[in-house]
Amino acid sequence: MKAYTGRRIAAALFMHTFYREGFKMRVEEFKMERENLVKKGDTVTITEGELPSSWYYTIVPAVAMSRNYKFSERIKSREGIVEDIVQTERGFFVKVSFDEEEPA
């Protein structure tokens, strides 16, 4: 059996979870101002910030920021895996998948 360490374990666990029958991953988008702060496949940690009537998330250490979320849309997971990075005129958008279902 092949030995897995570090990121390889995270990637293997992600693929196992992702392909589980009937389970959908939650994918959220974060805006990143500069390129190469994270790369596809990285495991990232997020922190939650609170506003008077909504919540927002930041990829630590201040790499990228999410949109504002209503209470019913809050992200429960604190770690995710970078799925894709898209460059547009407005900057870089990081798509992160979380091991939870989309909010209803």
**How far is residue 60's CA from residue 28's CA, in Å, rounded to a whole number?**
15
Q: Which residue has the higher pLDDT, 104 or 11?
A: 104
Confidence (pLDDT) at 101: 81
| pLDDT band for position 4 (cuts 50, 70, 90) | very low
Task: Give the residue from 91, 96, 10 showing the smallest Cα distance to 60.
Answer: 96
Judge whether 98 and 26 are in contact, CB under 8 Å.
yes
Residue 71: pLDDT over 50: yes
% of the chain beyond a pLDDT of 70: 78
31-64: pLDDT as tens digits: 999 999 999 999 999 999 999 999 999 999 999 9
- For residue 30, with 0-12 CB atoms within 10 Å meaning exposed, 13-18 middle and 19 or more buried, which class applies? buried
